[in-house]
A and B are shown apart, each in its own frame.
Chain A
């Protein structure tokens, strides 16, 4: 089955850019998502990219997809303390999502 891997922790300073990485094994997914989970809250959809795209920009968020290397990244520009959360990449299969373990982003002032 699909395997999705993420680094577990990232620490940045406020105002810096954050880059959260994700690698996967199955290239048949058509949509790739980034979800955000704040403490005590559910999974909030941040953005997504279709598998025939290389890049998508949405305000401070930039998603890059390298299909050859099966690598997905999320870049957050001008990171704020409110961006501190766990970020999950998720791949859309037939009808289900396969998630990574999540990357905890800690933004310090």
Chain B
């Protein structure tokens, strides 16, 4: 069964460093998402991406964050200068479309980011 994959599973970085989290969405999906879950908190929406541009973003997704689909398979989240409060589990998701139940979002296993 097709699945969303994410690498690395765990990333440790120093405050102020740049990190890139990688995702390979399900191959025929067109919509891509990033969510994050700070330990003990809710899963929060960060950004959605379609047709090579951001379609929606939350207030969490500030200028420190960027997303890119550098090739036909990868979808990346970059944090330019990490802060301690960026420590969280980051989930990538994809869907064939948006807003319809047949196009439910499927999630990857997550990348745990630890900022020291």
What residues make up the interface of A, taking CB atoms closer than 8 Å to B? 4, 30-31, 33, 35, 40-45, 48, 50, 88, 90, 92, 94-102
Contacts and interface: CB of A to CB of B under 8 A. Distances in A.
Contacts of B18: none
A42 B107 contact: yes
Contacts of A43: 43, 91, 93, 107
A48 B106 CA distance: 13
A95 B56 contact: yes
Given A88-B43, A98-B45, A101-B42, A45 B56 contact: no
Contacts, number: 59
Contacts of B41: 101
B36 to A, nearest CB: 11
Which 10 pairs between the two chains have the least Cβ-Cβ distance? A43-B107, A42-B109, A99-B43, A95-B98, A96-B45, A42-B107, A101-B42, A42-B108, A95-B48, A99-B42
A35 B101 contact: no
Interface in B68-114: 91, 93, 98-99, 101, 104-110
A97 B45 contact: yes
A33 B106 CA distance: 12
B104 A45 contact: yes
8 contacts: A41-B109, A42-B6, A43-B93, A48-B101, A48-B104, A94-B99, A96-B56, A99-B43
